[in-house]
């Protein structure tokens, strides 16, 4: 192996896999991390449990990345969920697969994943320099030759840029890599939040704050046209909504809002009942409990917090005896239960997004190696690339896989 060195910039999921794999392949590796420890963001993933990958078959997995997913095909053929899981198990990290194919450490602690990866880096002889923010990547005649870190110029035969996106900046991901790649000629697709809570108009939903609805249908309606429909969970928060369905729809919602389009959410609170069945259910309930006030009967149909909101938005009197509800009023209720509309006025900022959409344009990167097509010896890994997926472990797997491939390829380049 040549005496040249690989410098990995950023010690997140992508950077750690890149550094460890390059070192395992025999290269001398220096990992420069701006924070006091690598892996800060991994430590907060999956609500502290780290949903590190998903057991979905490859074609389905790739679909979760949308149009850009095919860029990952060759990378995933080399290092995918089974390889990642085997590697972590070999390092004594027990894993468990949960609903929807989501994989977590058995311990339920994301910090165990970080600890395992740090141990792996150490075992493979990676030199880690913490508190070392890189400002620049230097090139000479189309080849990388160094990075600038503070007042140091550190020589490098290859550089792997793995600085992540620009969300949750307290973890160290502040988007530093975009201008560095841009100055080397890479096109940067405008960055914007993905997997982000949405803000909604009006204060009718204020009493619902903190309420989590399971098994509901959520449609995203743009300029009166239905664009996407999902089933699952939604959570009301101050000034808006979040939860798995909303996060998944948010990428399209953000793009549509940016185009000045009208964006609405239509909630189907009774997705298991079509209009006919819902009418039969209402008739039955109202007949059986005819003397009771409508508000009390609605509590059998809705979470208690929702009843006043339902009455307010449909204009139905809660004190009315259920047996007195007229057919027109029932229709209003039915429509609301199947099509509860929320006007989307905005989204939470990039800093609060689970992932950053946009980034280094994939056209400038070789999907077989993760090497730049513009600057020899420059590689990319992780969220800095213009890749983003739904929730479910897909984003971390992409960071791990692109990291692994970049590390492998950079080490191979040193041997050339
Ligand atoms: C709250 C939250 C929960 C999430 N949960 C999940 C989940 O359960 N499953 C899932 O698949 N995905 C999840 N994600 C997304 C996932 O964490 C990211 O997609 C993934 O961590 C990206 O890895 P990365 O290595 O590219 O970037 P990061 O993990 O962001 O790492 C980048 C690293 O580079 C360092 N850095 C930045 N600039 C410099 C510089 N100039 N010099 C040196 N170092 C620098 C940073 O300090 C950081 O350590 C979650 C994200 C968030 C915010």
Alpha-carbon gap, residue 241 to 235, rounded angstroms? 6
Whole-number Å distance, alpha carbon 242 to ligand 1 midpoint, is 20
DSSP state of 71: G
Ligand 1 touching residue 105 (CB < 6 A)? no
How far is it, in rounded angstroms, from Cα 295 to Cα 300?
9
Residue length of the chain:
416
Is the CB of 386 within 6 Å of ligand 1? no
Taking the CB of residue 331, how many other CB atoms lie within 10 A of it?
Answer: 14
For residue range 229-256, what is the model confidence (pLDDT) as tens digits?
999 999 999 999 999 999 999 999 999 9
Q: Is the pLDDT reported for residue 54 higher than 70?
A: yes
- Residue 2 is predicted with a pLDDT of 47
Largest CA distance in the chain: 87
What ligand 1 atom has the least distance to the C-alpha of 163? 34
Per-residue pLDDT at 342 exceeds 80: yes
Q: What is the pTM of this model?
A: 0.93
pLDDT of residue 3: 58
Contacts of 36 (CB under 8 A, 6+ apart): 130, 131
State how far the Cα of 413 lies from the Cα of 416, in Å rounded to an integer. 5
Residues of the chain with CATH 3.50.50.60: 5-190+358-415
| Pick from 176, 248, 214, 194: nearest CA to 15 | 176
Is ligand 1 within 6 A of the CB of residue 392? Answer: no
DSSP tally for the chain: helices H, then strands E: 13, 19
Cα of 213 from ligand 1 centre, angstroms: 29
pLDDT for 247 equals 95
Judged against a pLDDT cut of 70, whether residue 104 lies above it is answered with: yes
Task: Give residue 400's pLDDT band: very low, low, confident or very high (50, 70, 90).
Answer: very high
What integer pLDDT is reported at residue 202 of this predicted model? 84
**CB of residue 35 inside a 6 A radius of ligand 1:** yes
- Centre of ligand 1 from the C-alpha of residue 207, in Å: 34
Q: In terms of DSSP bridges, do strands 28-32 and 127-129 run parallel, antiparallel, or are they unpaired?
A: parallel
How many percent of the chain have pLDDT more than 70? 99
Helix (H) or strand (E) holding 343: strand 340-347
Ligand 1 centroid from CA 265, angstroms: 29
Residue 164 in contact with ligand 1 by CB distance below 6 A: yes
CB-CB contact of 397 with 153 (8 Å): no
Report the top-level CATH class of 5-190+358-415: alpha beta
DSSP letter at 161 equals E
Give residue 399 CA to ligand 1 midpoint distance, Å: 8
| R_g (Cα) of the chain, nearest Å | 25
């Amino acid at each position: 192996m040549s005496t040249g060195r690989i410098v990995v910039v950023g010690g997140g999921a992508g950077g750690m896999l890149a550094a460890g794999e390059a070192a395992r392949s025999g290269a001398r590796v220096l990992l420069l991390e701006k924070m006091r420890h690598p892996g800060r963001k991994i430590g907060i993933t999956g609500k502290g449990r780290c949903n590190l990958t998903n057991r979905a078959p490859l074609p389905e997995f790739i679909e979760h990345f949308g149009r850009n997913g095919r860029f990952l095909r060759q990378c995933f053929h080399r290092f995918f969920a089974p390889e990642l899981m085997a590697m972590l198990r070999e390092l004594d990290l027990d894993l468990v697969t949960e609903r929807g194919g989501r994989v977590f450490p058995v311990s339920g602690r994301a910090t165990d994943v970080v600890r395992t990866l740090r141990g792996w880096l150490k075992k493979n002889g990676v030199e880690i320099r913490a508190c070392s923010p890189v400002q620049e990547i230097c090139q000479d005649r189309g080849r990388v030759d160094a990075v600038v870190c503070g007042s140091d110029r550190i020589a490098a035969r290859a550089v792997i840029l793995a600085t992540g996106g620009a969300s949750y900046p307290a973890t160290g991901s502040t988007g530093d890599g975009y201008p560095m790649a841009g100055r080397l000629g890479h096109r940067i697709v405008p960055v914007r939040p993905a997997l982000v809570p949405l803000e909604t108009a009006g204060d009718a939903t204020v009493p619902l704050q903190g309420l989590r609805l399971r098994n509901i249908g959520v449609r995203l309606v743009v300029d009166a046209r239905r664009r996407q429909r999902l089933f699952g969970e939604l959570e009301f928060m101050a000034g808006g909504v979040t939860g798995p369905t909303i996060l998944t729809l948010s990428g399209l919602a953000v793009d549509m809002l940016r185009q000045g389009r009208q964006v609405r959410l239509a909630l189907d609170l009774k997705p298991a009942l079509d209009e006919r069945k819902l009418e039969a259910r209402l008739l039955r309930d109202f007949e059986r409990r005819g003397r009771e006030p409508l508000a009390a009967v609605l509590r059998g149909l809705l979470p208690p917090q929702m009843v006043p909101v339902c009455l307010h938005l449909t204009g139905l009197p809660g004190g009315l005896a259920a047996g007195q509800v007229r057919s027109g009023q029932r229709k209003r209720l039915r429509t609301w239960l199947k099509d509860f509309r929320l006007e989307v006025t905005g989204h939470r900022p990039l800093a609060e997004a689970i992932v950053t959409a946009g980034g280094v344009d994939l056209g400038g990167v070789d999907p077989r190696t993760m090497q730049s097509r513009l600057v020899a010896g420059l590689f990319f890994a992780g969220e800095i690339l213009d890749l983003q997926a739904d929730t479910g472990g897909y984003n971390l797997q992409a960071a791990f896989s692109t990291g692994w491939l970049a590390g492998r390829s950079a080490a191979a380049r040193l041997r050339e």
